[in-house]
Amino acid sequence: MLLKFKERPRSFSLNQKMNSKESSLKELSWEDLDKMICSDENLVNGPTNSQAKLRLFGQPEKNLRVTLYRDHHAWCPYCQKVWLWLEWKKIPYQVKKVTMRCYGKKERWYLNKVPSGLLPALEVDGRLLTESDLILLTLEEHFGPLGNPLNSPKTIELRVLERKLFRAWCQWLCTPRLNPSQEKQRRKEFQKIAKEVELRMSTGTGPWMDSKIDQQGKNNPGSGDLIFIPYIERMNASLAYYKGLSLRKEFPLIDRWFQALEGFEEYRGTQGDFHTHAHDLPPQMGGCWKDPNPEQKRYERLIDCGEGLGEQETSWIVPKNIQAESIALGRVLKHRERLLELNPLGPQRFDQPLRASLTLMMTNKICSPESGSALGLRYLRDRISVPRDMPLIAARKLRTALEITAQIDGSTEGPPIPFHNRFDQDPYPFQPREIS
């Protein structure tokens, strides 16, 4: 499949450019690429991001009372729920990241603190808590609710509805070898409950099921909406990839809800993309199973090659002052040596193809990669993790550049993405060594 940049005003056809002088341009050096990095990110007080180890929201560090223990990759939906609550409430907190069992070995220091190893965990004023619902209830006691209290009748009804939708999704997505009749029945059951969710959205204030008006009069989502976010995000990705169902096309009020969420930097900073969720969910869920219909095959192809599904993934339009390419470049250069070492091609053979891809991303000029590089380029394309590595739009830019450069070399795919684990995503090589 031929890819084009979508967010740039100037796009191009790969076949056309391969016959032009631009196809023989030389890739930029690492020194030249380094000059293109946008280095003004404020991880501590700026927009929500996955890289921060401390969040203060402009408050003094003496106000710090909370420590959040979450997974390195930001794949854990229960961690995302607590993370979003802290971000929307602007509660200062520090982050300590832990390895999920599906992609590596659990850290000894964390097992000493939480013997079960489960995530998330949270300390508030020295008190250690596990289980996301208990964590949120305790945070409410200390800092007040976000919208309606979690134990209010309205929020309890929403929590029951969220679990009902979750079960219908799991029964459809995670049951292997469904026959056509069973596939149809599970699809109808999920659609029925999704309509119930839309009904609740239609009776709320604006797009929200549980709105909270802030001091500036802005209509924000409350806890009743927040509890739906992690799994509806994952439903949106997984049902497209495995079942060929477009949640946002079929359910316009859910789409409206997503569009409203994507207007908040708090949500965008935690949001995963379809490629990440399609491949991180199987080992977490015990398997995700395909209904190989024409739409499923089309969506799978678009997601796997890195093009993605456009507004079905995010409706957010990138402002001119945000340079998604530069963010992606900065994240690659931060771990350049390890990315080169871990690539199947090895550091020497992967150096030039990676620079060729980054040159394309930053300049829109094609540079031919060295022969035999497609495998290594697609290996990296498939292991970009959102939001761990970078925001969704930045990842789309990088995946696209890697795929276009790989197409110049050929059709060779990288090593398959594991289905029963994601040990290929072990964070250990990228982490500073901590004393147990």
Residue extent(s) of CATH 1.20.1050.10 domains in the chain: 153-312
Q: What is the pLDDT of residue 74?
A: 95
| Contact partners, residue 38, CB within 8 Å, separation at least 6 | 323, 326, 327, 330
Residue extent(s) of CATH 3.40.30.10 domains in the chain: 54-143
- Dump pLDDT digits (tens) for 379-411: 999 999 999 999 999 999 999 999 999 999 999
Judge: domain 153-312, CATH 1.20.1050.10. Answer: yes
Q: What is the pLDDT of residue 61?
A: 95
Hey, what amino acid is at 343?
N
**What CA–CA distance (Å, rounded) separates 333 from 390?**
12
Q: What is the pLDDT of residue 77?
A: 97
Question: For residue 213, is pLDDT > 90?
Answer: no
Question: For residue 14, is pLDDT > 70?
Answer: no
Question: pTM for the whole thing?
Answer: 0.92
In the chain, what percentage of residues exceed pLDDT 90?
Answer: 87
Pairing status of strand 54-55 against strand 93-98? antiparallel
Q: What is the pLDDT of residue 408?
A: 96
The CA distances from residue 89 to 14, 46, 116, in Å, are 46, 14, 29
Preceding omega of 230 cis (within 30 degrees of 0): no
Q: What is the pLDDT of residue 24?
A: 54
- Dump pLDDT digits (tens) for 317-344: 989 888 999 999 999 999 999 999 999 9
CATH architecture of 54-143: 3-Layer(aba) Sandwich (3.40)
Preceding omega of 47 cis (within 30 degrees of 0): no
Selection from 279, 325, 283 nearest residue 303 by Cα: 279
**What CA–CA distance (Å, rounded) separates 108 from 246?**
41
Burial (CB count within 10 angstroms: exposed 0-12, middle 13-18, buried 19+), residue 14: middle
Selection from 10, 101, 87 nearest residue 364 by Cα: 10
- Dump pLDDT digits (tens) for 151-199: 999 999 999 999 999 999 999 999 999 999 999 999 999 999 999 999 9
Q: What is the pLDDT of residue 430?
A: 86
Hey, what amino acid is at 122?
L
The 8 Å CB, 24+ separation contacts for 334-338 are 335/430, 336/30, 338/429, 338/430
Question: For residue 417, is pLDDT > 80?
Answer: yes
Instruction: Residue 134: count other Cβ atoms within 10 Å of its Cβ.
Output: 11
